[in-house]
Structure 1
Amino acid sequence: MKAVEIRELSASELNEKLADLKAELFHLRFQHAINQLENPARINAVKKDIARIMTVMTENADKSAQ
């Protein structure tokens, strides 16, 4: 997911997407621990998506505070 796409989402959609990605990351880590993960690069991709969403959420909060 690209930052441009993330910026178009509302606050509730961002929270929902963040929860989904955190759950996916948990499942990926679990699969990795029991050696059933097919694509280890997906872990890093999900972490980066979480970081992008959190960055946009922070930007939105800063804009609201001004």
Structure 2
Amino acid sequence: MADSTETMADSTVTMADSTETMADSTVTMVDSTDSTMYSTETITDSTETMADSSEPMADSTETMAD
């Protein structure tokens, strides 16, 4: 069998921006000793952003001899 060469061209895998947003949430606890007292805990909006990422694969050449 003669020499054969297999060549794979460059390829790039790109993932687009993604944003995950969690809405406001409020937790209210009633005071255990005085029912007129309240404790309020507020969690504000939080945003988690993942930037673009690119994963490049370089040219690869595979050569099989005779």
Structure with greater proportional strand content: 2
Greater relative contact order (Cα < 8 A, sep 6+): 2
TM bin, normalised by shorter chain, reads: under 0.3
Structure with greater proportional helix content: 1
TM-score, normalised with respect to structure 1: 0.23
TM-score, normalised with respect to structure 2: 0.23
